[in-house]
Amino acid sequence: MSVISSSPIPAGITVTKRYLDLAGVFSCALLGGAMARTAGLDLFEFLAVGVISGLGGGVIRDVLLQHGTPVALTDYAYLPTALAGAAVVFVIKFSESAWTRIFTALDAAVIGCWAVAGANKTLAVGLGWLPAVLLGTVTVVGGGALRDIVLGRRPAVLGGNGLYATVAIAVAGTTVICVYRGAPALGTALGIVLALVFRLAAVRWGWNLPGGLEWRSGSGTAARLRRGIGIAKTDDEERPHPPEEKP
């Protein structure tokens, strides 16, 4: 029996995965085109950045899976989809406020489509839940990280991004749980909804992970944690504070 035939994902869901993958390619190519516009690049550079952004995460995933040639090189829909995404941003110019709203929505859509598609594809080739969550996340963050490196920027996944990778992990994990429970279609729908709600909420309210126990050194909780595990106090904690003046 082949590895694919033992997949817990029905054929209809694996077909849906292709369209989710293509939706992620188009959305991330749009984001790449937006970055190219910000950097003042020409048409060729727009297309190059769009292709890197749109196809990078999926190619990294497929190379790590070692289950045949990356789908971006065998399915002729992928490259034109990435080029189309970059071309749309080159041709159509949005206002800054409109683009900010579009960018945030696209970002959430990319997370949902690619985390679900990456997790499903990993399970479809016979790997377990941990590789599925890992490669679902890699599919999401890989193209954007390559794009940022090419543009000389710090990859957004490394911080200050409204829980980008965290949302991807949550979506991929939700998809895997639903597949193991025998409800892959529910996992696909629930993963996309979770990405939209979680990512938009993180951006709206500025949610971020803490940067370490020195994060917000004035926090009493952080200070107690440092003392509890034997970490030296910060200069601010060591310095005696003058008594408050009474009115």
Please state, in angstroms and as integers, the Cα–Cα distance from residue 43 to each residue in 32, 50, 61, following that order: 12, 10, 28
Q: Crossing angle for the helix pair 184-205 and 164-180, nearest 10 degrees?
A: 160
Nearest alpha-carbon partner for 57 in 159, 157, 146 = 146
Q: Compute the average pLDDT of residues 44-52.
A: 94
pLDDT at 225: 46
User: What distance in Å separates the CA atoms of residue 243 and residue 207, rounded to the nearest whole number?
Assistant: 34
* pTM of the complete model: 0.78
Q: Cα angle at 160 between 154 and 164, to 5 degrees? A: 95
- Which pLDDT score is estimated for 44? 94
In which band, very low, low, confident or very high, does the pLDDT at 87 lie, cut at 50, 70 and 90? very high
pLDDT tens, position by position, 7-28? 666 655 555 678 888 988 998 9
Instruction: State how far the Cα of 142 lies from the Cα of 55, in Å rounded to an integer.
Output: 9
pLDDT digits (tens, 9 = 90+) for 139-181: 999 998 999 999 998 887 776 667 889 999 999 999 999 999 9
Cα distances (Å, whole numbers) of residue 183 to 4, 115, 129: 18, 17, 15
